[in-house]
Amino acid sequence: MSLMIVDFVPDLILAFLVICMAWGAMHARSRHDAMAMFVAFGLVVALIWARLGAPDLALAEAAIGAGLTGVLLLQAARQIPAEPRTMKKTTVQFILPLVFIVLAIALFASQLFSDDALNISEQARIRPDVGLSAPSMSDRVHLAMPDSGVGHPVTAVLLNFRAWDTLLELLVLLLALSGLRQLYPSSQSAQKKSDGPLVRGPEPWPLLLAWSRFLAPLLIVMGGYLLWRGADAPGGAFQAGALLAAAAVVLRLAGLLPALRWSSLTVRLAINVGALLFMTVAALTLYFGAGWLHYPAAQAGILILGIEVFATLSIAITLTLLVIGEYEDLHT
């Protein structure tokens, strides 16, 4: 029994940390404090995913939540003016919603514990034998795994069982980038120097250059490893894409990578190729095969790998541009 309690302590500390950081990320004195808190929040959330046994998510969160979001916030922090004296909400306006939160949590907790509609009272039950009752979605996934063409269930869900979601999600990335392009209207190209603050600051120090040269290949190797391994173990296109994007960001910041100009066909191709290939596969399966996104069983593995490789490329370039893209990248 005492052992149980000891096992529970890390969870409690993580919960405490995460609550403090959530609060600080919104209500810290200065914007910069809030942003730093938010990056710390992402880091601790990655640890929580680890505690909850979700390696794919821990990898994604470590790369995206703690890494790229951090760069993104820093990028914003250098551009925005100091926070004006905001109208402080009165205490009542501040406290009333808080009271509401406490009540809502209490209600939710009482429901959670009384009739346990969500079945979470015992930890990690071994799933019941399939076939006794109607199989749940995760049972179906495990049963269908042999036909999926990959060995890792999460990858199978992402790129086979629910491939349509993933395809649409690649479009979400593209759209965010298209939206970003609107922020530097081309009609104002004359004022671009003063309008679009540049990413690159002063000449980087030699130490930073050397360190970037060392770091970027490591990131790329790790990204490639996660991609290659994603078929059979935690990892996959998104984690790999995020790591590659981090590599590109580092190189770009150090001035070692030229601008990813929108006018270059290669860049646009790299951005589009993931979604385009995915759509093409879908259309081909519709025309020649058994139906929309119905991979032939024999080629499923190869198709998924191909889609993953190109999706990784697209994700990497798109994320890079989303994080540090600027006038020079997006409109020249």
Partner 1 sequence: MSLLLDSLAWLLMIFGLLFFITGALGLIRFPDIYSRLHAVTKTDTLGLGLLAAGLAIKSESVSTALLLLFIWLLVLASGAVSCQLLARYSLESDPAATGISEHIPGESDDR
Partner 2 sequence: MTYALISLSIPLFCALLLLLAGTYVSERALAITTITASLLSLIIAWLALQEVATANQSLLLNLGGWESGLAIRLRLSPLSGLLLLFTAFMHLLIGLYAGLSRQGAVRDFWPLSSFLHGSLAALWLSADLFNLYITLELLGLTAVAMVALAGKKAFRPAANYLILSLAASLFYLLGVVLLYGRYNSLDILILAGETQNDVITRLALLMMTAGLMLKAALWPLHLWLPSAHTNAPTAVSALLSGLVVKGPLFILWLLWSEVAPLALARQIGPVFGVAGMIALVAGGISAMRSPYIKTLVAYSTVAQLGYALMALGLLLTWQLPQMHIALWLFVIAHGLAKASLFLAAGEMQTTLGTKRVSGLRGATQTVPVAMFAFAVAGGSLIGLPPSGGFLAKWVLLEPLLSQPQNWPWAFGVLLGTLVSAAYIFRVVALSFDRARINPPDTRPDRLGHWMALLPALMVWGMALTGDWLIRLLAGGGV
Partner 3 sequence: MSSLQMYMLLGALIFLLGLHGLLVLTDPIRRLIAVNLMGAGTFMIMVTLARRTDPADPVLHALVVTGLVVAISATAFALRLITANLITETPNLAENNAAQSDTTLSQQGSPPT
Report the nearest approach of partner 1 to the CB of residue 215 (Å).
8
Report the nearest approach of partner 2 to the CB of residue 182 (Å).
4
Contact between residue 142 and residue 153 where contact means Cβ atoms under 8 Å apart: yes
Closest of 39, 56, 58 to residue 48, by C-alpha: 58
Q: Does 153 bind partner 3 (CB under 8 A)?
A: yes
Q: Which two tokens stand for residue 33?
A: 């404090």
Report the nearest approach of partner 1 to the CB of residue 216 (Å).
13
Window 295-314: residues binding partner 2 (CB under 8 A)? 295
Q: Which of 94, 100, 164, 214 binds partner 1 (CB under 8 A)?
A: 214
Stretch that binds partner 2, among 29-37, 43-51, 199-207, 282-290 (CB under 8 A): 282-290
Contact between residue 282 and residue 104 where contact means Cβ atoms under 8 Å apart: no
Closest of 169, 165, 176, 164 to residue 281, by C-alpha: 164
Name which of 221 and 283 has its Cβ closer to partner 2.
Answer: 283
- Work out what residue 211 binds among partner 3, partner 2, partner 1, none; the CB cut-off runs from 5 to 8 Å by kind: partner 1
- Work out what residue 11 binds among partner 3, partner 2, partner 1, none; the CB cut-off runs from 5 to 8 Å by kind: partner 3
Q: Does 26 bind partner 2 (CB under 8 A)?
A: no
- Write the interaction track for partner 3 spanning residues 69-88; mark x where CB under 8 A is met and - where it is not: x--xx--xxxxxxxx--xx-
d(C-alpha 22, C-alpha 34), whole Å? 9
Contact between residue 30 and residue 83 where contact means Cβ atoms under 8 Å apart: yes
**Which run of H or E residues covers position 106?**
helix 91-114
Report the nearest approach of partner 1 to the CB of residue 259 (Å).
24
Q: Does 83 bind partner 2 (CB under 8 A)?
A: no
Stretch that binds partner 1, among 176-184, 201-209, 288-296, 309-317 (CB under 8 A): 201-209
Q: Does 29 bind partner 1 (CB under 8 A)?
A: yes
Through-space distance between the first and last CA atoms of the chain, rounded to whole angstroms:
65
Q: Does 290 bind partner 2 (CB under 8 A)?
A: yes
Helix axes 31-51, 69-79, angle to 10 degrees: 180
Report the nearest approach of partner 3 to the CB of residue 210 (Å).
26
> Residues binding partner 1: what is the number (CB under 8 A)?
7
Q: Which two tokens stand for residue 79?
A: 């551009």
d(C-alpha 57, C-alpha 142), whole Å? 19
Q: Does 136 bind partner 2 (CB under 8 A)?
A: yes
Instruction: Tell me the DSSP string of 190-233.
Output: GGHHHHS--S--SPPPHHHHHHHHHHHHHHHHHHHHHHHHTTTS
Q: Does 207 bind partner 1 (CB under 8 A)?
A: yes
d(C-alpha 42, C-alpha 147), whole Å? 36
d(C-alpha 143, C-alpha 186), whole Å? 53
Contact between residue 21 and residue 35 where contact means Cβ atoms under 8 Å apart: no
Residues near partner 1 (CB under 8 A): 29, 205, 207-208, 211, 214, 218
Residues near partner 2, by CB under 8 A: 108, 111, 115, 117-119, 135-138, 140-141, 144, 160-165, 168-169, 171-172, 174-176, 178-179, 181-183, 185-187, 262-263, 265, 268-269, 271-272, 275-276, 279, 282-283, 286, 290-295
